[in-house]
Amino acid sequence: AQKITQTQPGMFVQEKEAVTLDCTYDTSDQSYGLFWYKQPSSGEMIFLIYQGSYDEQNATEGRYSLNFQKARKSANLVISASQLGDSAMYFCAMREGSGTYKYIFGTGTRLKVLA
């Protein structure tokens, strides 16, 4: 069955340092999409970054990059130069392929940035 695993329930990082949030996925589809979302304490879901299964280069969006290792089925989020405003819950998600367009989310990682 398709599955997203985030093994880090919580993490701390010092301000201005880089942090990696882990995400592994399981799918038998060849075509799929991987996403990261941020949920601050206010509750809204904010899209951060997207990686398609056929994309050869790792996706980057400003301070966010996605370390995509297809053979290992991992899609880790790297946040560079952490800021206090990065403190939030982070969710990894996968859009299933094969025409179903179902989405699966991980259980999330709560990141706290320390001053």
Partner 1 sequence: EAQVTQNPRYLITVTGKKLTVTCSQNMNHEYMSWYRQDPGLGLRQIYYSMNVEVTDKGDVPEGYKVSRKEKRNFPLILESPSPNQTSLYFCASNDRGRGPQYFGPGTRLLVL
Residue 35 as a binder of partner 1 (CB under 8 A): the answer is: yes
Query: Do 27 and 70 meet the contact criterion of CB atoms below 8 Å apart?
Result: no
Element (H, E) at 101: none
Residue 106 as a binder of partner 1 (CB under 8 A): the answer is: yes
Please give the residues from 58 up to 97 whose contact with partner 1 meets the rule CB under 8 A. 91, 93, 95
DSSP state of 57: S
Whose tokens are 């790792």? That residue is: 58
Query: Do 6 and 35 meet the contact criterion of CB atoms below 8 Å apart?
Result: no
Question: Which CB, 20 or 50, lies closer to partner 1?
Answer: 50
Residue 45 as a binder of partner 1 (CB under 8 A): the answer is: yes
Work out how close the CB of 42 gets to partner 1 at its nearest, in angstroms, rounded to a whole number.
9
Residue 47 as a binder of partner 1 (CB under 8 A): the answer is: yes
Question: Which CB, 14 or 107, lies closer to partner 1?
Answer: 107
Looking at the DSSP bridge assignments, the partners of residue 39 are 89
